[in-house]
Amino acid sequence: MLAAIGTDSDPTLLAPRESNVTVMFCDLRGFSRQAETSRNDLAGLLDRVSQALGVMTRHISEYGGVIGDFQGDAAMGFWGWPVAADDDPLRACRAALAIRAEFAEAARTPGHPLADFRMGIGLARGTAVAGRIGTGEHFVFTAFGPVVNLASRLEGMTKQLHAPIIIDERWPIFYASGCRSKTGDCAPWRRFCLMEWIRPLSSASFCRANANFPN
DSSP state of 14: G
DSSP state of 90: H
Alpha-carbon 141 to chain mean position: 16
Is residue 149 predicted with pLDDT exceeding 70? yes
pLDDT, position 9: 56
Task: For residue 172, give the H/E element and its range.
Answer: helix 172-177
Distance of alpha carbon 42 from alpha carbon 76, whole angstroms = 24
Provide mean pLDDT across the span 41-56.
Answer: 89
Q: Which CATH fold topology does 18-209 show? A: Alpha-Beta Plaits (3.30.70)
Q: Which of 203, 202, 198, 199 is nearest to 184 (CA)?
A: 198
Quick one: pLDDT band at residue 191, thresholds 50, 70, 90? Answer: very low
**How many CB atoms lie under 10 A from the CB of residue 156?**
14
Distance of alpha carbon 140 from alpha carbon 158, whole angstroms = 28
Q: Which amino acid is at 28?
A: L
- Residue with the larger pLDDT of the pair 135 and 24: 24
45 torsion bin: left (phi>0), alpha (psi -120 to 50), beta (else):
alpha
Q: How many residues are listed for the chain in this entry?
A: 215
pLDDT, position 44: 85
DSSP state of 195: S
Distance of alpha carbon 123 from alpha carbon 29, whole angstroms = 17
Is residue 99 predicted with pLDDT exceeding 70? yes
pLDDT, position 11: 63
pLDDT, position 176: 43
* pTM greater than 0.85: no
| β 165-168/118-134 pair status | parallel
pLDDT, position 53: 93
Alpha-carbon 79 to chain mean position: 10
Using alpha carbons, list the distances in angstroms from residue 74 to 16, 89, 134, 199. 23, 20, 20, 26
Quick one: pLDDT band at residue 190, thresholds 50, 70, 90? Answer: very low
| Domain ranges within the chain, ordered by starting residue | 18-209
